[in-house]
A = this chain, B = another copy of it.
């Protein structure tokens, strides 16, 4: 009756192909010393606002760049370019997530040796991006206080594939009646031990903690590469 099994089967083939490309990307990033952070969330959780502030504040200390995915429009790339960092838009059409091959194509012409941190902003979607490895070192999932506390329970897969949860728009917590304890409990029930940072790109609350988190993982990443040993063949 339902076509799900067949679609799932094809998806698995697509995923395998994506994993091959993602693995090659991860190798290239490691060799070039680029630390890659991806951001995933539902629409309007504040990825672009956070990224704009992040690029502005890290731009003085590191060589940063960003790739941003959207179904349509180049609005986000324009907003982010105001930070002065190199930014490119990936327009996905009707596709609900970024794939590793899109990242590879979008970077064409960029000298990775000239970069230290690359941010990847995924399409606004709490479902599809979950199973696509983009070669990132750190996957960050955002939930905003305005979305409600139950999102980790309702979208467990994306939380299970993330390394850090950000509770965004924390300046609005009170006005929307956001239950912080319930949100933290929801995150921990889905992914025990996952670090959570509350912040607001607008008020600046929590931004230091977020930037420090990246800084610490950047240093840790350059000391002990997180990638598995790879063959020496040139991609």
Chain B residues whose C-beta falls within 8 Å of the C-beta of A102 in the assembled complex: 2
A53 within 8 A of B: no
Q: In whole angstroms, how far apart are the Cα atoms of A115 and B165 in the complex?
A: 43
Contact of A151 among B21, B43, B130 (CB under 8 A): B43
Inter-subunit contact A154/B75 (CB<8 Å): yes
Q: In whole angstroms, how far apart are the Cα atoms of A7 and B95 in the complex?
A: 10
8 Å CB interface, A139-159 against B: 143-144, 146-148, 150-151, 153-157
8 Å CB interface, A1-49 against B: 1-4, 6-7, 10-11, 13-14, 17-18, 21, 42-45
Chain B residues whose C-beta falls within 8 Å of the C-beta of A155 in the assembled complex: 43, 71-72, 124
Inter-subunit contact A17/B43 (CB<8 Å): no
Chain B: CB-nearest residue to A105: B1
Chain B residues whose C-beta falls within 8 Å of the C-beta of A4 in the assembled complex: 95, 99
8 Å CB interface, A83-111 against B: 94-96, 99, 101-102, 104-105
Chain B: CB-nearest residue to A169: B146
Q: In whole angstroms, how far apart are the Cα atoms of A150 and B175 in the complex?
A: 23
Chain B: CB-nearest residue to A21: B1
Chain B residues whose C-beta falls within 8 Å of the C-beta of A101 in the assembled complex: 1-3
Kindly report how many copies of this chain are found in the complex they form together. 2
Chain B residues whose C-beta falls within 8 Å of the C-beta of A95 in the assembled complex: 4
Q: Quote the shortest CB–CB distance from A90 to chain B (angstroms).
A: 12
Q: In whole angstroms, how far apart are the Cα atoms of A75 and B189 in the complex?
A: 15
Contact of A43 among B14, B130, B154 (CB under 8 A): B154
Inter-subunit contact B127/A71 (CB<8 Å): yes
Residues of A within 8 A of B (CB): 1-4, 6-7, 10-11, 13-14, 17-18, 21, 42-45, 70-73, 75, 94-96, 99, 101-102, 104-105, 123-128, 130-131, 143-144, 146-148, 150-151, 153-157, 169, 172, 175-176
Known: A94-B130, A125-B125, A172-B175. 17 other contacts (CB 8 A): A2-B102, A3-B17, A3-B18, A6-B14, A7-B10, A7-B11, A44-B45, A71-B155, A71-B156, A72-B155, A73-B154, A94-B157, A96-B128, A123-B127, A124-B154, A146-B147, A146-B169
